[in-house]
Amino acid sequence: MTLSRRQALGLSAGAAAVLAFSPTFALSATDDTDAAIKAFTGGATPAEGTVSLDTPEIAENGNTVPVGVSVESPMTEDSFVESVLILADGNPNPAVATFHFTALSGIAEAKTRIRLAKTQNVIAVAKMNDGSTFIDRKEVKVTIGGCGG
């Protein structure tokens, strides 16, 4: 593979940018997201499983990305999902929405459409009425449009 001078310059500049900035970016996004999760769970680390996210692998436009969430739960007066927090760890502000369920919901499922500023993880954290918490994560690739972006 032969690179033109311009390609080579572009590649090295890109690599430099990644080296210089990505750790900082990753940290700040994760910090905000972690803080939001902790605030929601009351400090506990949520377990994997029980809650599952349904997101497209690739979103054609970050302005309108369909997101579904479902939680395995009997949804009775004694045992139900209280709420599900949705976060997007690459947005300027990770908060997206919080769904609140009741026994009258029948099943703990909800769908909405969200804004994603770039390719990133969408996160769902479920809180049951006994206080236990569960988490799921899905990466959504947000594509850049045609000539206009």
Partner 1 sequence: MATPKPRVKVPKKAAKGEVITIKTLISHPMESGQRKDKEGNLIPRQIINKFTCEFNGQLVFSCDMDPAVSANPYMQFSAKVNEPGTFKFTWVDDDGSVYETENKIAVE
Partner 2 sequence: MASRTKSIATLFSAVMVCATGALAGGPVDEKLVIDGEMEIDTRIPAPEGHPFDEVISGWHYRTDETRDLEADSFQNPGMLYVERGEEIWNTVDGAAGKSCASCHGDGDEFLKGLGANYPKWNADAGKPFNIELQINQCREANMEAEPYKFDAADQKALTTFIKHKSIGMPMEIDLTEGDMQAWWNKGKELYYTRTGQLNLACATCHEGYNGNYIRADHLSQGNVNGFPTYRLKQSAMVSLHNRFRGCIRDTRAAFPPAFSDDLMALEVYVTWRGSGLDIETPAVRQ
> At residue 82, what are phi and psi to the nearest 5 degrees?
-75, -55
Beta carbons of 138 and 120 less than 8 angstroms apart: no
User: Of these partners, partner 2, partner 1, none, which one is at the site of residue 148 (CB under 5 to 8 Å by kind)?
Assistant: partner 2
Report in angstroms how near the CB of residue 109 gets to partner 1 at its nearest. Answer: 6
- Residue 58 touching partner 2 (CB under 8 A): yes
Report in angstroms how near the CB of residue 13 gets to partner 1 at its nearest. Answer: 28
Nearest Cα residue to 88 out of 117, 61, 56: 117
Owner of token pair 């209280």: 82
Cα–Cα distance measured from residue 28 to residue 30, given in angstroms and rounded to the nearest whole number: 5
Beta carbons of 121 and 37 less than 8 angstroms apart: no
- Residue 27 touching partner 2 (CB under 8 A): no
CB-nearer residue toward partner 2: 97 or 103: 97
- Residue 12 touching partner 2 (CB under 8 A): no
CB-nearer residue toward partner 2: 52 or 119: 119
- Residue 96 touching partner 2 (CB under 8 A): no
